[in-house]
Amino acid sequence: MVHPRAGDQPLVSAVARVLVRRLFGLGQRLIALWRRFWRPDLVLWLLVLAVLLLPLMMLSALSKATVAQMKLQADEISTLASGIRAYYADNVIARLQAADGKAVYSENYRNVHGGIPIPATLSIELGALFDNAHSDGRISYNFVSEYPFAKRVSHPLDSFELEALRVFRSDPQRKVFTQLNGHGLGSSSYRMATPVLMRQACVTCHNTHPDSPKRDWKVGDVRGIQEVTIRGIQVNGFGSLGLLVGYVGFLGLTSVAATSVFRNQTRQLAKVNQKLIDANRKDSLMASELVDQIRELSVFGHVVDNATFGIAIADMRRPDAPLIYVNEAFTTITGYSRELAIGYNCRFLHGPETDPAELEKLRRAIKEGKPYTGELINYRADGGRFWNRLTIYPVYGTHQERPEYPEYYVGNQVDISLLKQQAGPLSDVLIPLQSDFDSARKSLEQARRFSEGMRRYLDTATTVVPEFEAFLIAEQEAHRLLAAAISDLGEVLLKSGSKP
């Protein structure tokens, strides 16, 4: 073994690097070539082509199988007939000849007492048996020769039979002669001929028989041929062959249609992808604007969360219109945390002293999709009550089945309990005076009736002092103004007394 010298190491390393680079480049080119030709549409077309060629492949395979089967059957039948004939000649005729038996072997053995058939007769009759065994005529057997016995019925030899006799006599080593007509289907046929050789018993019989047309036979001569004909399998015998071919054709058409659909879908997907690319570009251009909008929304959200008045939003699309948002001021006013408020209808704020008439106004406004403003008593989470100045207004959506009905209601809550309490001292002073005001109203009413009576009297009197008439008119006007003032003050007292 020759080892590289120390000075050769750099050269070996350089050669190895070059070899590695070339191998890597070759691999890259193979991968590029693979990616170029291995496309989905190419694969699909190859699949369609394979499906379309499937009927031809099936017919070809079936034809080859049929031919092979015909060859096999012909060989089996020929071998069987040869074996029977040889056995009969060697073990029947030959033994009888050697033993001077009393049996008579003859081609017309049925008309001879003790007669037995000679080998040729046996072959012919076996052929009839083979033919009868196949009622459709698919398999037939014949024993033919151009030297038939004089009293034996024979048919003229055709070109195949004459050519087979010629080949066997010219080539003693030839054991079989065949001919295939067609391609294995329908009216196709496979003919096989094998030589019938003269044995010693056959030579003795033929050379001495009075009906033999030839009497110089020798052992090994070609007496004739035994022929086996196998006809092709009939298509109507297959039953499902036509259906199979039709199905495969339908499969091919379906594959072509699928290819068309696939290509259309591919074009549609390409269009959709292009639209998505354009949309992504637009989204990229709008990214800064969206960031600004998000910042603005964040500022607005901070303002709403930290507003000094309560804000609540109800989802009118959901059953029972639950709250979906409340700010910090709402939780402070009502005492209900967001966890306890969100998901429930705001009626949990109502209580025993909530005015039913005001609630009816509120419900009617919501039912009609209108805003509402009013004052009503509500209850906190700890059971304490407070005066709530409530304002609600609808928010309409753009995508809903009922555009005339709001999707949300936004409510603003202001606790006005302190204002109500500041109005309390004035009510405490005026309410005890209500009975005095009632008495004064009654007195004024009586004075008014008295002045009206005096007026009617003056109207009927013949002489009236002018100064008295002027006084009476001024007194009536003073009574009217005082009655109006007392009436207004009484209404104030009534309202103050009915409110806590």
pLDDT at 360 over 90: yes
The chain-wide mean pLDDT, for the chain, equals 75
Dist. CA 432–CA 273, nearest whole Å:
84
Q: What pLDDT, on a 0 to 100 scale, did the predictor assign at position 36?
A: 63
58-238, CATH topology level: Beta-Lactamase (3.30.450)
Quote the strand ranges of 176-278, DSSP E: 177-181, 189-197, 222-231
H or E element, residue 389? strand 385-395
CB-based contact 406:317 (threshold 8 Å): no
List the domain boundaries for the chain. 58-238, 306-422, 425-498
- Out of 31-35, 357-361, 396-400, the most confident range is 357-361
Q: What pLDDT, on a 0 to 100 scale, did the predictor assign at position 239?
A: 47
Tokens of 417: 């309990």
Who contacts 231 (Cβ-Cβ below 8 Å, separation ≥6)?
A: 70, 137, 138, 139, 187, 188, 189, 190
Higher pLDDT, 391 or 460: 391
Q: What pLDDT, on a 0 to 100 scale, did the predictor assign at position 192?
A: 92
Q: What is the pLDDT of residues 288-316, one digit of tens each?
A: 675 666 666 566 666 677 778 889 999 99
Dist. CA 167–CA 171, nearest whole Å:
6
Dist. CA 130–CA 128, nearest whole Å:
5
Dist. CA 3–CA 1, nearest whole Å:
6
Q: What are phi and psi of 325, to 5 degrees?
A: -160, 140
Query: Is residue 141 exposed (0-12), middle (13-18) or buried (19+ Cβ within 10 Å)?
Result: buried
- Check for a shared fold between 58-238 and 306-422: yes
Q: What is the pLDDT of residues 64-93, one digit of tens each?
A: 767 776 776 677 667 667 767 776 776 567
In the block, tokens 């394979």 appear at 50
- According to DSSP, residue 148 is labeled -
306-422, CATH topology level: Beta-Lactamase (3.30.450)
Q: What pLDDT, on a 0 to 100 scale, did the predictor assign at position 461?
A: 57
pLDDT at 455 over 90: no
Q: What is the pLDDT of residues 344-353, one digit of tens each?
A: 999 999 999 9
Tokens of 224: 């004739």
Q: What is the pLDDT of residues 28-71, one digit of tens each?
A: 777 776 666 555 666 566 667 767 776 776 776 677 767 776 77
- Out of 39-43, 187-191, 222-226, 235-239, the most confident range is 222-226
Q: What pLDDT, on a 0 to 100 scale, did the predictor assign at position 305?
A: 74
Return the bridge partners of 140, or none: 229
Return the bridge partners of 233, or none: 185
Dist. CA 407–CA 401, nearest whole Å:
11
Looking at 87-96, 333-342, 478-487, which range is the least confident one? 478-487
Dist. CA 331–CA 307, nearest whole Å:
12
- Could you tell me what percentage of the chain is helix, strand and coil, using 3-state DSSP and rounding each to the nearest 5? 60, 15, 25
Dist. CA 315–CA 298, nearest whole Å:
22
